[in-house]
Structure 1
Amino acid sequence: MDGRFLISTATLALAEALASCSTANQILSIQLLQGSLPPQIVEAFRKSLQSTSLGSSILKFTPEAQLQLIFERLQHWQQLSEPSAAQGASSPLNHRRSSGAIADLVTLGDYWLATAIRQGLLQPLEVNSLQHWVSLPSRWQALGRRDRQTGQPDSQGAVFAAPYRWGTTVIAYRRDKFQSLGWTPSDWSDLWRPELQGKISLLDQAREVIGFTLKQLGQSYNTLDLSAVPGLKSRLQSLNRQVKFYRSTDYLQPLLLGDTWLAVGWSADVLAALPLNPQIAGVIPLSGTALWADLWVRPHGASPSDLVNPWIDFCWQPAIATQLSLLSKATSPIVNGLNPEVLPTALRTNPLLYPAAAILERSEFLEPLPASALAQYQSFWQQMRTVT
């Protein structure tokens, strides 16, 4: 299927939807995770506005290298939008608010969502004005619907987030190294095979590593009491003996060079690395894995904008969602609700972008845990890495 046709079809659809809008000369300011949005999508949205009354609108997309930086920016904006009474309406902070210092939308990872809501950093989305909300599969609707106070998932809560792409934690490995072994990795249990001792790298993330160990033991990534899981500590200690290093950045470079045989990492990183070396392959573990998602959220204090909902809806149009999935190395949740037969072959035949339904069903988001549980994860993490 021709991607240029998909983009132009979606552009026409949005132009028709905005034809009656009367507001012009607006600015849409978005701060997003670098690499999470292909520039072709932004340009298609810009073209879609040209034939509407919003044709003179200004689009400002500012990339940030890390989600941590965006979260810190949200905290800063929250302080700007709620000045103390002593400062008064004419204070410099209020002036900065009115001058558009706060972005209309930002990218936030699903793992940060509960904390952001709990700290009062976000405002709910106007979900009733989102045309394609009903096309979003229920699992992805539930991801953004949260309790206003705690930020915990709540089926009756407000919608604080619009997911625009998602991915998984996967196993990447070298075909040439495993050829001599006569097998290739397919599930988490393979990480404990003796022939891989000292040849693997893991993410430097307690929830990820302990989580897939729990999964391998038939438990949930979001287990609340680790001490109640038989054999977990010894399993973690034996896993540590397999590991050459722990790293969450640049972890694929040793795999590309052949210094490691296997790496656990995030699907978007692995998909980007595959063209660099034909010996690299990736697989989603059969027993299920961790899911992650990039979300559009509205900062607290952001001014009303006629462009926010059209932009979110544009990302959710099937044609745009398909192209976003192929170009950004992560899958739009809209794709999961489409008939596979209408998807491009490059998407529906790529198991890292379009996992089997059974594997997806067994996979989980890392849910927010109470402080007591997080302390236990950290304790197990430290013990795992200090015992040889």
Structure 2
Amino acid sequence: MLNRRKFLLMVLISAIAPSLQACGNADNTAKVRVLSGSIPSQVLGAFERQFEGEQNLDLNPISQLEDLYEFLEELVEEENSNRADLVTLGDFWLKTAIEKDLIQPLDLEDLSNWNALPSRWRDLVKRDQQGNPDSEGEIWAAPYRWGNTIIAYNEDKFRQAGYDPPTDWEDLWREELKEKISLLDQPREVIGLTLKKLGESYNTDDLDAISNLKSELSALHKQVKFYSSSNYLEPLILGDTWVAVGWSNDILDLRTRYPNIRVITPNSGTALWADVWVRPKGSERFLEPILEWINFCWKKETASQIGLFTNGSSPILLNGNQEEIPDDLKADELRIPPSEILERSEFLLPLSEETREKYQEVWEETRMYSDSK
């Protein structure tokens, strides 16, 4: 969903990127492929001013994470001459990128701001050679932005009907919400929130051990009017559904554009995602400007800009030192959730092939549920 703010950010990034490249020639400029809208133009300008042309970046914004992952594949499979020294990737693709030998480790532990990252975000990017989390593994990525799965609801609908608004996953099963919910078309998300409702983990590896999982999923399926991973907000905006479950980077803008739409982070915790920097396989140039840029993204001032001007937040804002965070951010529990909710939230970690197949099997059984809804 390309809203006005995202469009303006893309225009600004596109306008600033050539000026950054112009500070030097192609032989001393690091090429960066970045997810559009994930880095504010203010950050790029501040980086340029701080280094005064000593560390040059050629930033090329790309609109979708899927396109960035495909770009990494093309670099290896087709020996793409349009090289890049640093690329944005979603943490969900990290295991596959490592397995397919699309990226190489980053030496980040000597950077001054590496330890400013909360330990959970450092652990997220330490992986073994198969891409599985490993506390002793190498560092394969640099997290710079994060978000989560949240609930949006139409406040007018609940008030007019005299119902309490939702506060947690369990509310999705309430009788009055039958056929009034839009959900992501994602098995890890839907099965995961159901597991969370049952007090289990998003990363449960033995679904057969959860005896009431399938019955709970069937009951939730009766509540759903619409599944989509791209257009799940339109039914909520139009009033066709009362509740939508989706990703924070899609939903946050609704608060100002549609005052009747309210947004909450479920009390029992939710799924987390991260945008990370990765270094493509075969990239050997310009390590110094790359490291300077990564470290710059972890400065408190940069983190605040990411939180203020993108539909995401920075993990640096969660490290306990709140003094330098703007008041608008500190007061926004969607960007900086209460610590107890964050502690109960989880990244969607890699599953074994057998477990992935089980999730898909359970998902297909749920979607084929044929009783009247």
Find the residue that maps to 1:126 and give its secondary structure. coil
Shift of 1:374: 0.7
SS in 2 for 1:297: strand
CA separation of 1:53 and 1:213: change in aligned 2, threshold 3 A:
closer
Q: Does 1:159 align with 2:158?
A: no
- C-alpha distance in 2 between matches for 1:220 and 1:65: 31
Q: Which residue of 2 aligns with 1:125?
A: 106
Aligned residue among 278, 292, 310 for 2:259: 278
Distance 1:210 1:24, change over 3 A: closer
Give 2:246's match in structure 1, choosing from 261, 265, 274.
265
Letter in 2 for 1:315: C
**1:353 corresponding residue in structure 2:** 335
Relative distance call for 1:341 and 1:45 in structure 2 (3 A) is: closer
Is contact 1:125–1:298 with CA below 8 Å preserved after alignment? yes
Matches within 5 A, 1:18-29: 26-29=28-31
- Distance, in Å, in 2 between the alignment partners of 1:227 and 1:197 is 27
Match of 1:67 in 2: 65
Aligned residue in 1 for 2:232: 251
Match of 1:324 among 306, 322, 331: 306
Q: What residue is the counterpart of 1:172 in the other structure?
A: 152
SS of residue matched to 1:326: helix
Deviation of 1:162 (Å): 0.5
Number of the residue aligned with 1:150:
130
1:19 corresponds to: none
Give how far 1:25 is off.
6.0
Structure-2 residue corresponding to 1:47: 49
Counterpart position of 2:217: 236
Q: Does 1:219 align with 2:200?
A: yes
Is 1:304 matched with 2:285? yes
Alignment-mate amino acid for residue 37 of structure 1: I
Q: Verify the 8 A CA contact 2:152 2:264 in the aligned structure 1.
A: yes
Partner amino acid, structure 2, of 1:164: Y
Please say if residues 129 and 309 of structure 1, whose CA atoms lie closer than 8 Å, have aligned partners that are also in contact: no
One-letter code aligned to 2:158 = F
Q: Percent identity?
A: 49
What is the CA-CA distance between 1:341 and the residue it aligns to?
Answer: 3.7
Contact 1:167 1:291 in 2 (8 A): yes
Contact 1:136 1:337 in 2 (8 A): yes
Q: Deviations over 1:240-276 (max 9, x none)?
A: 1100110111221221121211000011211122111
Contact 2:30 2:285 in 1 (8 A): no
Task: Label 1:258 to 1:24 Cα distance change in 2 as closer, same or farther (>3 A).
Answer: closer
Matched position secondary structure for 1:185: coil
Q: What's the secondary structure of 1:368's corresponding residue?
A: coil
SS at 1:278 equivalent: coil
SS in 2 for 1:61: strand
Q: Given residue 309 of structure 1, which amino acid in structure 2 is its aligned partner?
A: L
| 1:372 corresponding residue in structure 2 | 354
In structure 1, the residue matched to 2:77 is 79
- Bigger shift: residues 166-175 or 340-349: 340-349
CA contact (8 A) 1:199 1:243 kept: yes
Please tell me the residue identity of whatever aligns with 1:365. Answer: F
For residue 24 of structure 1, report the CA deviation from its aligned partner.
Answer: 10
Question: Following the alignment from structure 2 to structure 1, what is the Cα–Cα distance between the partners of residues 45 and 54?
Answer: 17
Aligned residues: 345
**Per-residue Cα deviation, 1:108-142 (whole angstroms, up to 9, x for no partner):** 11111011111111111121342210111111111
Could you state the TM-score of these two structures normalised by the residue count of structure 2?
Answer: 0.89
Q: Give 1:16's aligned residue.
A: none
CA contact (8 A) 1:24 1:53 kept: no
List gaps (5 residues or longer) in structure 2. Answer: 1-24
Q: Secondary structure at the match of 2:272?
A: strand
Q: Deviations over 1:3-26 (max 9, x none)?
A: xxxxxxxxxxxxxxxxxxxx9962
**TM-superposition CA deviations, 1:54-95 (whole Å, max 9, x none):** 4xx3x32222222111111111112355xxxxxxxxxxx7xx
TM-score, normalised with respect to structure 1: 0.86
Q: Is the 8 A contact 1:174 1:280 kept in 2?
A: yes
2:182 is aligned, of 190, 193, 201, to 201
Divergent runs of 4+, >3 A: none
Shift of 1:301: 0.7
Corresponding residue for 2:168? 187
Q: Secondary structure at the match of 1:108?
A: strand
Secondary structure of 2:253 counterpart:
helix
1:27 partner amino acid:
T
Give the greater-gyration-radius structure (CA). 1
For 1:150, the aligned partner's letter is Q
Counterpart of 2:295 in structure 1 is 313
Structure 1: gaps spanning 5 or more residues: 1-22, 82-92
> How far apart, CA to CA, are the structure 1 residues paired with 2:219 and 2:54?
63
Tell me how far apart the structure 2 counterparts of residues 25 and 110 of structure 1 sit (CA, whole Å): 30
Cα distance in structure 2, aligned partners of 1:296 and 1:53: 21
RMSD of the TM alignment (CA)? Answer: 1.7
Q: 1:87 matched to which residue of 2?
A: none
- Separation of aligned partners in 2, 1:208 and 1:331: 20
- Distance in 2 (CA, whole Å) between partners of 1:237 and 1:366 is 22
